[in-house]
A and B are shown apart, each in its own frame.
Chain A
Amino acid sequence: MGSLKESAVSGSNPLDSPVKQIQIDGLVVLKIIKHYQEEGQGSEVVQGVLLGLVVEDRLEITNCFPFPQHTEDDVDFDEVQYQMEMMRSLRHVNIDHLHVGWYQSTYYGSFVSRALLDSQFSYQHAIEESVVLIYDPIKTAQGSLCLKAYRLTPKLMEICKEKDFSPEALKKACIGYEHMLEEVPIVIKNSHLINVLLLDLQEKSTVADKHELLNLSSSNHLEKSLQLLMDRVDGMSQEIVKYNTYCRNLTKQQQQKQQYLQRRQQENTQRQSRGEPPLPEEDINKMFKPPQAPPRMDTLLIAGQVNNYCQNIKAFTSQNLGKLFMAEALQGHSS
Chain B
Amino acid sequence: SNGTKMRNIEDTKRVVRSAKDKRFEELTNIIKTIRNAMKIRDMSKCLEEFEQLYRAFLKSKTIVDKEGVPQFYIRLLADLEDYLNQLWEDKEGKKKMNKNNAKALSTLRQKIRKYNKDFETEIVSYKENPEQSAEEEEKDDIGSASSSKSDDDEDVTAKSLMKKKPQEEEKKAPEASKFLKGAADEESESEEDEESEDWGSDSVDSGGESEDNEGAAASLAVVFLKKYVYGDKQPERKKDDRRKRHKKMEQVDEEADEEGEGEEGGWEKVKGGVPLVKEKPKMFAKGTEINNAVVIKKLNEILQARGKKGTDRSAQIELFHALAGISNENNLGEGILVKIKFNIIASLYDYNTNLAAFMKAEMWKKCLECIDELLDILFENSNIFIGENIAEDSENLAISDQPFRVRGCILTLVERMDEEFTKIMQNTDPHSQEYVDNLKDEGRVCGIIDRLLQYLESKGSTEEVCRVYLRRIMHTYYKFDYKAHRRSLGLQGETKSEQDQEESEGEDSAIIMDRLCKFIYAKDRTDRIRTCAILCHIYHHALHSRWYQARDLMLMSHLQDNIQHADPPVQILYNRTMVQLGICAFRQGMIKDAHNALLDIQSSGRAKELLGQGLLMRNMQERNAEQEKIEKRRQVPFHMHINLELLECVYLVSAMLLEIPYMAAHEFDARRRMISKQFHHQLRVGERQPLLGPPESMREHVVAASKAMKMGDWRTCHSFIINEKMNSKVWDLFPETQRVREMLVRKIQEESLRTYLFTYSSVYDSISMATLSEMFELELPTVHSIISKMIINEELMASLDQPTQTVVMHRTEPTSLQNMTLQLAEKLGGLVENNERVFDLKQGVYGGYFNRDQRGGYQQKQGYQRGDQKGGYQQRQNYQRGGYRNQNQSSY
Contacts and interface: CB of A to CB of B under 8 A. Distances in A.
Interface stretch (B324-332, B428-436, B817-825): B817-825
B817 A233 contact: no
B831 A247 contact: no
B834 A244 contact: yes
B512 interface: no
Nearest to B816: A223
A142 to B, nearest CB: 18
B841 interface: yes
B827 A234 contact: yes
A248 interface: yes
A230 B824 contact: yes
A226 B817 contact: yes
A interface residue count range (under 10 / 10 to 19 / 20 to 34 / 35 or more): 10 to 19
A247 B838 contact: yes
Interface in A176-214: none
Contacts of A229: 824
B interface residue count range (under 10 / 10 to 19 / 20 to 34 / 35 or more): 10 to 19
Given A237-B830, A237-B831, A244 B841 contact: yes
B834 A219 contact: no
A223 B823 contact: no
Interface string B820-844: 1101100110110011011001100
B834 A230 contact: no
Contacts of A223: 816-817, 820
Contacts of B823: 230
A67 interface: no
Contacts of B889: none
B815 interface: yes
Contact of A237 (B815, B824, B827): B827
Contacts of B838: 240, 243-244, 247
Interface in A234-277: 234, 236-237, 240-241, 243-244, 247-248, 251
Chain B: interface secondary structure? helix
A138 interface: no
Contacts of B831: 233, 236-237, 240
B822 to A, nearest CB: 11
With a 10 A CB-CB cut-off, give which of A223, A233, A240, A243 has the most chain B CB atoms: A240
A230 B841 contact: no
A222 interface: yes
Given A244-B841, A247-B841, A251-B841, A226 B820 contact: yes
Nearest to B844: A251
A240 B827 CA distance: 13
Contacts of A234: 827
A241 B816 CA distance: 29
B761 to A, nearest CB: 22
A227 B820 CA distance: 8
Contact of A244 (B827, B830, B837): B837
A251 to B, nearest CB: 7
A219 B819 CA distance: 13
A295 to B, nearest CB: 16
Nearest to A248: B841
A237 B817 CA distance: 22
Contacts of A227: 820
A226 B841 contact: no
Contact of A233 (B815, B816, B824): B824
Nearest to A306: B831
Contact of B834 (A222, A240, A248, A251): A240
Contacts of A247: 838, 841-842
Contacts of A222: 817
B827 A233 contact: yes
Contacts of A219: 815, 817
B834 A241 contact: yes
A222 B821 CA distance: 10
A251 B837 CA distance: 14
Interface string B830-860: 1100110110011000000000000000000
Contacts of B830: 237
A108 to B, nearest CB: 14
Interface string A16-29: 00000000000000
A243 B837 CA distance: 10
Nearest to B834: A240
A105 B744 CA distance: 59
Interface in B241-285: none
A233 B821 CA distance: 13
B824 A226 contact: yes
Interface in B798-829: 815-817, 820-821, 823-824, 827-828
Interface of B: 815-817, 820-821, 823-824, 827-828, 830-831, 834-835, 837-838, 841-842
Interface of A: 219, 222-223, 226-227, 229-230, 233-234, 236-237, 240-241, 243-244, 247-248, 251
Given A240-B831, A244-B838, A251-B841, 6 more contacts: A226-B821, A227-B820, A230-B827, A234-B827, A247-B841, A247-B842
12 contacts: A226-B817, A230-B820, A230-B824, A237-B827, A237-B830, A240-B831, A240-B835, A240-B838, A243-B838, A244-B834, A247-B842, A248-B841
Ranked nearest first, the 7 interchain pairs of A and B with the lowest CB-CB distance are A240-B834, A233-B827, A226-B820, A247-B841, A237-B831, A244-B838, A230-B824
